[in-house]
């Protein structure tokens, strides 16, 4: 039974929980972390760690997408970002860093980012970025918004994209627009030869609808990061991630029964800042996590010490700030696998996940989704 609370006469709301509200319960068994596998597979593509990089120019360039892929994760290029609009992205990013250093108000940097994104998307630049990643041998993924998916996808597929990510703050099975034909995601996916990951979703019903479109994966959340995203204050929309992940996992289970065995992956995107958050997201039922701000601390991140999400460049309603990423940088390998001297769960992110799985006696990610949970307070 749903945990409803009365918020006024005749109106109730469901109680929901963030990752900070829950804890993982140890079991009667432990094992060596050397005997733990963090591998997962999306369609035909296998990854050694459950990491998908949030598609923002702050952390994913063609070069870092390759680096993330070589370390076992998946880097997702923003096909509507700076690499799609400018041939001299290094100079463009330097301008953004200079603007951040000289800004007296946060809006000063936002204006620069909006201006940089006002340049048109150039198909040849997108193709060049995809080719750089593809030539390295790692899996190639690119993100498009629902509004531009139909327009941009043919060029992306022709350039060699292997996984397409259709991502927005909220994504539905059918995106309706007065300015053109609606995006029917089911038909869109049926016509493609590459797997599609779609989201964000926030509840069981929407997750189920997206799964029925034929999506290979569903993104839960919109990349919420404390102090960075402002969707809650701008739109009034928020995602208590622990509850949202559990609900999407329930939709996955019911869809698996409905189809007689078709499994759709759940990717958690938001509220994940530490290695403990990664472990709790998997424990709630996620197959992988989509990391943003934690990866901005990597010395390889193109943001030059800054972090923002794609929503920061919206021309009329930006919903992300450009903020300093971290007090100190660390190389990507150390960030993901250690060794670490950090005691707050900011480094050795997936080494810690292995240890959490080992300490609770689970040998792979699917098993770990069954671990016991408690609620604080």
| CA pair distance 302, 80, nearest whole angstrom | 16
Q: 257: part of which helix (H) or strand (E)?
A: helix 241-259
| CA pair distance 204, 177, nearest whole angstrom | 24
Per residue in 70-126, pLDDT (tens digit) is 999 999 999 999 999 999 999 999 999 999 998 888 788 999 999 999 999 999 999
Per residue in 41-56, pLDDT (tens digit) is 999 999 999 999 999 9
Residues near 111 by Cβ (< 8 Å), separated by ≥ 6?
A: none
Residues near 127 by Cβ (< 8 Å), separated by ≥ 6?
A: 155, 158, 159
Calculate mean pLDDT across residues 198-209: 92
Tell me the H-state helices in 3-78: 62-70
Token pair of 30 as six digits: 């432990």
Token pair of 355 as six digits: 């240890």
Q: Are 187 and 175 in contact (CB under 8 A)?
A: no
Per residue in 189-199, pLDDT (tens digit) is 999 999 999 99
What pLDDT is recorded for position 128? 97
| CA pair distance 210, 190, nearest whole angstrom | 13
Among left, alpha and beta (phi > 0; psi -120 to 50; other), residue 191 is: alpha
DSSP state of 134: H
What pLDDT is recorded for position 223? 86
Tell me the H-state helices in 191-225: 204-212
Calculate mean pLDDT across residues 257-286: 97
Calculate mean pLDDT across residues 202-220: 95
Quote the distance between the C-alpha of residue 117 and its chain's center.
Answer: 21
Peptide bond into 124 cis (omega under 30): no
* pLDDT surpasses 50 at 176: no
What pLDDT is recorded for position 86? 98
Pairing type for strands 45-47 and 217-224 reads unpaired
Token pair of 314 as six digits: 């919206």
What pLDDT is recorded for position 1? 45
Per residue in 146-155, pLDDT (tens digit) is 889 999 999 9
Q: Are 270 and 241 in contact (CB under 8 A)?
A: yes
* pLDDT surpasses 80 at 171: no
Q: 11: part of which helix (H) or strand (E)?
A: strand 11-14
**Residue 306: how many CB atoms within 10 A of its CB?**
23
What pLDDT is recorded for position 170? 60
What pLDDT is recorded for position 236? 87
What pLDDT is recorded for position 153? 97
Mean per-residue pLDDT over the chain, rounded = 92
Query: How buried is 4 (Cβ within 10 angstroms: 0-12 exposed, 13-18 middle, 19+ buried)?
Result: exposed
Calculate mean pLDDT across residues 178-183: 60
310 pLDDT tier (thresholds 50, 70, 90): confident
């Amino acid at each position: 039974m749903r945990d409803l609370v009365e918020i006024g006469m005749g109106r109730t709301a469901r109680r929901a929980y963030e990752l900070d509200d829950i804890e993982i319960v140890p079991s009667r068994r432990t094992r060596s972390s050397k005997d733990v596998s963090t591998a997962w597979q999306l369609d035909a593509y296998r990854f050694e760690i459950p990491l998908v990089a949030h598609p923002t120019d702050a952390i994913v360039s063609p070069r870092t997408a390759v680096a993330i892929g070589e370390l076992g994760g998946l880097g997702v290029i923003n096909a509507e970002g700076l690499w799609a609009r400018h041939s001299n992205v290094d100079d463009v990013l330097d301008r953004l860093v200079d603007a951040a250093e000289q800004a007296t108000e946060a809006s000063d940097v936002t204006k620069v980012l909006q201006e940089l994104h006002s340049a048109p998307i150039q198909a040849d630049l997108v193709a060049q970025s995809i080719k750089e990643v593809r030539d390295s041998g790692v899996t190639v993924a690119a993100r498009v918004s629902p509004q531009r998916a139909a327009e941009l996808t043919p060029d992306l597929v022709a350039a060699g994209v292997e996984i397409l990510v259709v991502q927005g703050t909220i994504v539905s099975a059918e995106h309706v627009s007065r300015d053109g034909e609606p995006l029917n995601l089911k038909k869109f996916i049926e016509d493609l030869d590459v797997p599609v990951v779609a989201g964000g979703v926030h509840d069981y019903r929407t997750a189920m609808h997206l799964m029925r479109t034929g999506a290979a994966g569903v993104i839960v959340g919109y990349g919420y990061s404390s102090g960075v995203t402002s969707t809650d204050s701008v739109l009034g929309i928020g995602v208590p991630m622990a509850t949202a992940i559990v609900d999407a996992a329930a939709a996955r289970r019911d869809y698996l029964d409905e189809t007689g065995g078709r499994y759709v992956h759940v990717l958690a995107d938001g509220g994940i800042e530490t290695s403990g958050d990664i472990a709790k997201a998997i424990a709630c039922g996620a197959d992988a996590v989509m990391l943003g701000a934690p990866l901005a601390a990597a010395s390889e991140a193109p943001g030059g010490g800054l972090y923002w999400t794609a929503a920061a460049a919206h021309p009329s309603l930006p919903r992300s700030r450009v903020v300093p990423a971290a007090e100190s940088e660390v190389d990507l390998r150390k960030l993901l696998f250690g060794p670490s001297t950090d005691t707050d769960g900011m480094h050795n992110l997936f080494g810690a996940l292995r240890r959490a799985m080992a300490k609770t006696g689970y040998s792979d990610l699917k098993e770990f989704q069954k671990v016991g949970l408690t609620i604080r307070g």
